Amino acid sequence: MEVRRSARRSRTVSAYRDGDRTVVLIPARMSAAEEKRWVAVMLEKLAAQESRRMPGDDELAARAERLSEQHLNGRAVPDTVRWVTNQNSRWGSCTPAEGSIRLSHRLRGMPEYVIDYVLLHELAHLLVPGHGPRFWKLLESYPRTERARGYLEGVDAVDRLPTTDQDPVRPAHPEGFRPSLPSRTSNPQRNADKGRGE
């Protein structure tokens, strides 16, 4: 994730995905506490916007099949792959005996490579139950393993940030700033350029 400050941006905060990165544009005068709050707000808004476009269980199962073919020689064949809303402390889970894989709804809206990594991680558990050397060897063929793990660790770190009544992490509209997200059809770079004049 990248946070860009702009002296010409006075009241608006915006965010967009640029390939694998999330870019948050904020006014230069914003304090570190305001930045932290706004980054959380904008990540939440982007995730909500993108979750409306995320694939359902059928698409997730097809994705699992594709990943198994590409990275595990088709050896991992789950019976079920689905999104679930009851996993808030883990990104995914696998029950090898049942051949079932469940991905947390919290992944919806995250970059595709992150979802692919979690799905591939759970597929690997169909072949190797623990996290030993054999397990990690299976994930070596996925080129974005480390990047995806870093992304998820960053999200976990933000979720663990302490909050107080005086410094809430997720206010509705902190300090009078306005959120702004690009539309699905807009050009993020154009929006970034446009935002410099605000």
Q: List domains and CATH numbers for the chain.
A: 2-52+168-195 (no CATH), 57-154 (3.30.2010.10)
pLDDT value of position 110? 86
Element (H, E) at 43: helix 32-51
Single-letter residue type at 143: P
Tens of pLDDT, residue by residue over 66-105, are 999 999 999 999 999 999 988 888 999 999 999 999 999 8
Taking a C-beta distance cutoff of 8 angstroms, is the pair 12, 198 a contact? yes
Residue that is written with structure tokens 């999330």 in the block? 22
Helix axes 112-127, 145-159, angle to 10 degrees: 110
Q: Which DSSP category does 61 fall into? A: H
- The radius of gyration computed from the CA coordinates of the chain, to the nearest angstrom, equals 19
Mean pLDDT for 165-170 is 47
Relative to beta strand 21-27, strand 12-18 is antiparallel
pTM over 0.75: no
CA-CA distances (angstroms) from residue 73 to 82, 96, 131? 22, 18, 20
Tens of pLDDT, residue by residue over 99-148, are 999 999 888 878 899 999 999 999 999 999 999 999 999 999 999 999 99
Tens of pLDDT, residue by residue over 45-74, are 887 776 666 568 888 999 999 999 999 999
Taking a C-beta distance cutoff of 8 angstroms, is the pair 80, 99 a contact? yes
pLDDT tops 90 at residue 159:
no
CA distance 105 to 198: 35
pLDDT tops 50 at residue 186:
no
